Amino acid sequence: MIDTIIKSILSRMDRGDNRIFFVETGTDQAGTVAQVAVWFSAMDTRFGRITGFKSIRGGGPWYTEPLQFPQLVDVQDARLKIMTIDNFPPAFQNVRKRFPDNPNIIPVLNSSPTQLEKMIAEGQLDGCERLFYLDAHWEDYWPLRDELAQVIELKRFVAVIDDCFVPGKSDPRDARSGFGYDVYNGRKLEWNYIRDLFEGVDFDYRLYYPERPASAERGYLLLLAGYSREEEARLVEGLPLFPMAADDPLHLQFSDIIPNPLGDFKSLVRSLLPLAFVRGTLQFILRLLPSR
């Protein structure tokens, strides 16, 4: 689940009259959409008024609590938008079903790099603040590098890379421990996996990591790109984050240590079962269970 620190950053990006676009890759059960919708409804009355919540079981053993979906009324075309991108039709339908006819919550059925390239080429993100929540990593194709290759073209953005190794905090031998992270095909999700994409860029960027893990004891990486030092300070000042230089030796210290993926249930599932089978089975089970 998305960290509440991101709520603070989104609030600080808000000047009261500007547009903010929150773009998520990897919709899954739409839990992140639900949480950001709660935050946005408090920031802009046009986003909608919450009358209550619908509790829905998450489709996987890593969802320990039911997901809470806000019931929005009085929805108008707001200056705050959520777009969530997934190439799995049931994930797309999850959002359409839980937020029907909502102009501010936009599900997209597409490959995330393809959709990002289209949005940027068409100028859909021009003239607004944008925060990318990059969480589409499962099965053989890991789209993160292709996603970032598109996002970098904007030269000014905030990006959160979920489930990322946190140097000095994560255990290099145990991906499940506090500040947990993902491992794919023998490669940790870490800064060194994407670092080369930023070599030679013509804008400044900074890396931040959380002082405490997000919910479910996971780590992440926060990237601020194209912001002045004053703007950057306004976004992160006082938050439980710590900066780290892109070339800090800590990024390299544990890169050659790969934890056993059999110790991580999610990695084990990914390695043994096709994504379509896992998702299809979970969706079938969920249809049999009544919502609370």
Instruction: Say if residue 267's pLDDT is above 60.
Output: no
- The model's pLDDT over 275-292, given as tens digits with 9 standing for 90+, comes to 555 555 655 555 565 554
Specify whether the CB–CB gap between 116 and 150 falls below 8 A: yes
> Residue 194: which CATH number?
3.40.50
Residue 29's nearest CA partner among 75, 3, 66, 76 is 66
Question: What's the confidence (pLDDT) of residue 223?
Answer: 98
Question: What's the confidence (pLDDT) of residue 292?
Answer: 46
CA 262, CA 173: separation in Å to the nearest integer? 12
Question: What's the confidence (pLDDT) of residue 283?
Answer: 58
What DSSP letter does each residue of the chain carry, written as one string?
---HHHHHHHHHH--SSS-EEEEEE--TTSHHHHHHHHHHHHH-GGG-EEEEEEEE--SSTT--S-EEEEEEES----SEEEEEEES-HHHHHHHHHHSTT-TTEEEEES-HHHHHHHHHHTTTTTTSEEEEEE----SS--THHHHHHHHGGGSSEEEEEET---TTTSBTTBTTSSSB--EETTEE-SHHHHGGGGTT-SS-EEEEEESS-BGGGB-EEEEEES--HHHHHHHHTTSSEEEE-TT-THHHHTTT----GGGSHHHHHHHHS-HHHHHHHHHHHHHHSPP-
CA triplet 264, 266, 269: central angle to 5 degrees? 110
Question: What's the confidence (pLDDT) of residue 138?
Answer: 62
Mean pLDDT score, 44-49: 97
Structural domain boundaries, residue 264: 4-288
What percent of the chain has pLDDT above 70?
A: 85
Q: Which residue has the tokens 């800064």?
A: 191
Residue 69's contacts (CB-CB under 8 Å, 6 or more residues apart) are 30, 34, 53, 54, 55, 56, 98, 99
Tell me how many domains the chain contains.
Answer: 1
Question: What's the confidence (pLDDT) of residue 257?
Answer: 75
Instruction: Say if residue 274's pLDDT is above 70.
Output: no
Give the predicted TM-score (pTM) of the model. 0.89
Task: State the average pLDDT for the chain.
Answer: 88
Q: Which residue has the tokens 């390695």?
A: 271
Cα distances (angstroms) measured from residue 22 to each of 72, 102, 172, 204, 211: 18, 15, 31, 21, 23
Mean pLDDT score, 217-235: 97
Number of other residues whose CB lies within 10 A of the CB of residue 197: 15
